[in-house]
Amino acid sequence: MTIPRASHIESSARLLVAAQLSDLLQRGSRAHLIGIGGVSMSPLAEELHRHGLRVTGSDLRNSPAVEKLRSLGIDIYIGHDAENVHGADLVIRTAAAREGNPEIDETLRLGIPLFERAAAWGVIMRGYANAVCVSGSHGKTTTTSMISQILLAAGRDPTVMIGGTLPTLGSGYRVGSGDTIVLESCEYFDSFLSFFPTLAVILNVDADHLDYFGDIDHVKAAFREFAELAPETGRVIACGDDRNTIDALRGLDRDITTFGFHAQCDVRCESVLETGHCSEFDVVYEDRVYCRVKLKVPGKHNILNALAACAAAISLGVPSETIEDALRTFVGADRRFEFKGRLNGAVIYDDYAHHPTELRALLDMATALPYKRVVVAFQPHTYSRTASHLEAFAKELRRADKCYIAEIYAAREINTYGITSADLAALVPDSTVCATLSDVEAALKAEARDGDLIITVGAGELDKVGEQIVN
């Protein structure tokens, strides 16, 4: 089942929504946020609170993010109830809150203005001189984290919104007082088309979220529209190595800086040295070595992420030595090849890879490391993605020495595809289907031996297994 996507979001409609929201986001207005504890909703709540709005919210459960917001004086309800929206001047919803939610339905019944989370972020970023929006099918969290760490080291005091936890921040966001905002920008449901980037970063374009886009051509069209959001005085930073990205941007009337391994890229790497979990390379810009980067996060995909971050930093005028210092201390974002611990001589890592391209990059890196075996525990994410890429997932998983496959993590979906993890396991020799996460945990405990690299992989709940094993 494919969610029909509008072929185009009219810029006039986008500007009208932004104007309406700007009028409502005034000091003293009450903004109610549905799903306030979410990864991009909690920083939004803090930002609105900082600007003098009376913020309330609701969420299904307590969390550290909810408690932090409460410490600021924000009233938060646990559970969704129609009465929670009474008295609100506007309501902002997370993407997961749709019609059928009692607060959404009551908002519509009362005629309270209702806005998407992305639209609110779009209005907020218009107040910044520099709005760095990092998009791409893969690598957004890591690259957004790298850019944020560089700008923090440069003393730019940025406002940051990341789809994961950056150890330097101890969270996925910060509200700064500088003139720059950095946001991870997701293409799903065309969310990023509500933004107003001055610097639009496109890492890659791949066939993902096909339950919404339908096919790769519609994915390309969305990223093309995103690039067109950059003003004539702005800039697009794009991967020159990625054919889909180049196709999407062909003929674009904007200043474009390309990055990549190829010699024709504006920002490229040379003299690459990879040793174990580390890599080192020259960043070449305007045909001279701009800086020498040393990374503690492995893999060619992370070299590309770092090149994108360097291109953004160069565009923002960050000195070369600051880029070097910031990336030298970068240790990754959570769930991006994150070290969990050891068991029976095996090392345990966790990774968020949930698309075949991400899985390929992960295994390219993992199989090049000096371990005796690579053992993968994989949890497919959503029925639609598993059905669309079944053979591609199997092709990558066959590269592991041993594979355990958990049941599919449904997320937002109902299984109308008739797909199960057994269908995937049937294509992967020497793989085992585990009905529960406890079964995965028991299997990995029995499997672990000296010299193994064990990776729990997926965007669902499999990271909990790694934590249980090492604890």
Grouping H, G, I as helix, E, B as strand and the rest as coil, residue 88 is coil
Distance, in Å, from the CA atom of 466 to the CA atom of 471, rounded to the nearest integer, reads 9
Are 67 and 79 in contact by the 8 Å Cβ rule? The answer is no
Strand partners, 337: none
Residue 173 and residue 160 in contact, taking contact as beta carbons nearer than 8 Å: yes
- Secondary element (H or E) of residue 388: helix 383-388
Taken in order 435, 438, 440, 445, the sign of the CA dihedral is: negative
Q: Is 170 helix (H, G, I), strand (E, B) or coil?
A: coil
Beta-strand pair 75-78/54-59: parallel
Residues in the chain: 471
Q: Which residue in the list 47, 116, 184, 407 is annotated as catalytic?
A: 184
The pair phi, psi for residue 297, each rounded to 5°, is: -105, 130
Q: Are 80 and 34 in contact (CB under 8 A)?
A: yes
Catalytic-residue membership of 140: yes
Q: Catalytic pick from 141, 198, 245, 456?
A: 141
Q: At 274, list the tokens.
A: 């990879």
Paired sense of beta strands 130-135 and 171-174, if any: unpaired
**How do beta strands 130-135 and 180-184 pair?**
parallel
Q: Which residue in 415, 405, 354 sits closest to 383, CA to CA?
A: 415
Q: Please say if 184 is a catalytic residue.
A: yes
Residue 26 CA from chain centroid, whole number: 30
Q: Residue 273: name the closest of 254, 300, 247 by CA.
A: 300
**Burial readout 433-455 (b: 16 or more C-beta within 10 A, e: otherwise):** bbeebebbbebbeebbeeebbbb
329 is known as an active-site residue: no
Amino acid making up residue 270: E
Residue 324: how many other CB atoms lie within 10 Å: 18
Identified catalytic residue from 106, 140, 159, 220? 140
Please say whether the beta carbons of 139 and 312 come within 8 A.
no
179, two tokens: 């003139």
**Active-site amino acid positions:** 140-141, 184
